[in-house]
Amino acid sequence: MFGYLLKRLIQMTLVLWIVSVIVFLMMSFTGDPVFMVVPIDATDAEIAQARRILGLDQSLLVQYGRFITSLVQGDFGNSYVFRQPAMTLILERLPATVEMVLVAMALALAVAIPLGVYAGANPNSRISRTIMAGSLLGISLPGFWVGMVLIFLFAVHWGIFPSSGRGDTAELFGLRISLLTADGWHHIILPAVTLSLATMAILLRMTRAGMMEVGRQDFMKFARAKGATRRDVLYKHGLKNALIPVITIFGLQLGDLIAFATITETIFSWPGMGKLLIDSIYRADRPVIVVYLMLVALIFVVINFLVDIVYTLIDPRITLK
């Protein structure tokens, strides 16, 4: 286990370093950040002054060197646009995103697993066919469209939910959490549903496929023969064995949604961090982009690590080496 952890740690450092290099190189093609800061009729002297203040007067290599040196000392650099520490900008928006994604993922699981098991166990029933057709819709409808339709129906037309924003929050361990207030839940439902649909559909289809695969195995027949109820057979014997690929996808989707919930956040003007990434790309705000993508890489590595551990819990035959 210790060796495994160490290996993972080294891998992670390598991934983070590569991300930082790629982003730094990439950003030299996306335009000069100084022109996003100065007025368009700025004189050369004014531009030079802005460049100096932002630390952009050095070569890319020197800038990268400075970035890495201060990174090692725990300083992630300041945003060119906001002139605030890039890490602070991201972290103060992180809770809102994580919260929305967790609700969305919980929703996706709660719907996808039972329906997937049902559709896998009864592949030919009419209900199963309806479920599968619905899941196709979930995969193919673009999120921004679903979001707009939900806003139009539930906010503008029926007035059941608010159209946008985060609502009231309560503080917990210094973090602002909206899941602790009724108003917060009122606001989070529509964006979470929008965000969950695609994942829900994928998980449902994975579960169904796994269940159909497992259903043909001999141990399922034995379980039934030894007198286990149909429900126990499906959930204890069947689902547990069908779950490995589902969990893999779940982990990947979780990371993906946290990192790139941008579209849903923009549509519902949810104050999360995905919007920060897009804005920063538009404004060529390199420090924020670099730190953001490194954080995303970190999140993916951690989630994959956790998924590996969950494997061993579900299937004792798997060990971590």
Partner 1 sequence: MKYLSETALRASALGLALMATTAGAALAEKSVTIGLTADPSHLYPLAGEELSSNIMYYHLYDPLVKRSADLSFGPGLAESWENVDDTTWRFKLREGVKFHNGNDFTAEDVVYTIEKTRESIRPDLVANVASITAVDDHTVEIKTPKPYAVLPNDLAELLILDSEYTEATGDEKMDLEPMGTGPYKLESWIKEEKLTLSANDDYWAGEPKIDTVTFRPITNPATRTAALLTGEVDVIQDLAVRDVDRVKREEGFEVVTRPSLLNVVLAMDTREKSPTIEGDNPMTDRRVREAIARAIDTDAINKIVMNGLATPSDQYVPESHIGYADGMSFREMYPVDIEKAKELMAEAGYPDGFTMTLDATNNRYVNDAQIAQALASMLAKINIDLQLNIMPKSNFWGYIRVPTENSSFIMSGWDVPAGDAGSMYGALFYTRDKKEGYGQVNRGSYSNPELDALVDKADATPSIEERDQYLQEASKLLLNDIPMIPVHYEQDIYAKRDGVTLEPRVDKFIWAYDIDVAE
CA dist 187 and 270 (Å) reads 9
Q: Pick one of 112, 113, 192, 284: the residue that binds partner 1 (CB under 8 A).
A: 284
Rounded Cα distance, 67 and 112, in Å: 44
CB of 18 to partner 1, least distance (A): 24
Touching partner 1, residues 142-161 (CB under 8 A)? 148, 151-152, 155-156, 159
Residue 261 in the binding site for partner 1 (CB under 8 A)? no
Mapped onto helix, strand or coil, the DSSP state of residue 262 is helix
Please give the residues from 167 up to 226 whose contact with partner 1 meets the rule CB under 8 A: 171, 174, 176
State residue 142 phi and psi, 5-degree precision. -70, 140
| Amino acid at residue number 59 | S
Taking CB under 8 A as the criterion, the residue among 92, 213, 256, 308 binding partner 1 is: 92
Tell me how far apart the alpha carbons of residues 234 and 43 are, in angstroms, rounded to a whole number.
73
Query: Where is 170: in which H helix or E strand?
Result: strand 170-172
Which listed range, 125-133, 213-221, 240-248, 274-282, lies at the site for partner 1 (CB under 8 A)? 274-282
Nearer to partner 1, 208 or 275 (CB): 275
Helix (H, G, I), strand (E, B) or coil at 175: strand
Which residues sit opposite 165 in a β-bridge? none
CB nearer to partner 1: pick between 45 and 61: 45
The residues pairing with 78 across neighbouring beta strands, listed in sequence order, are 85
Taking the complex as a whole, how short is the minimal distance between the CB of residue 274 and partner 1, in angstroms?
Answer: 10
**Are the beta carbons of 247 and 284 closer than 8 angstroms?**
no
- Residues at the contact surface with partner 1, assessed by CB under 8 A: 30-33, 35-46, 49-50, 53-54, 78, 81-84, 89, 92-93, 96, 148, 151-152, 155-156, 159, 162-166, 171, 174, 176, 266-269, 271-272, 275-276, 279, 281-284
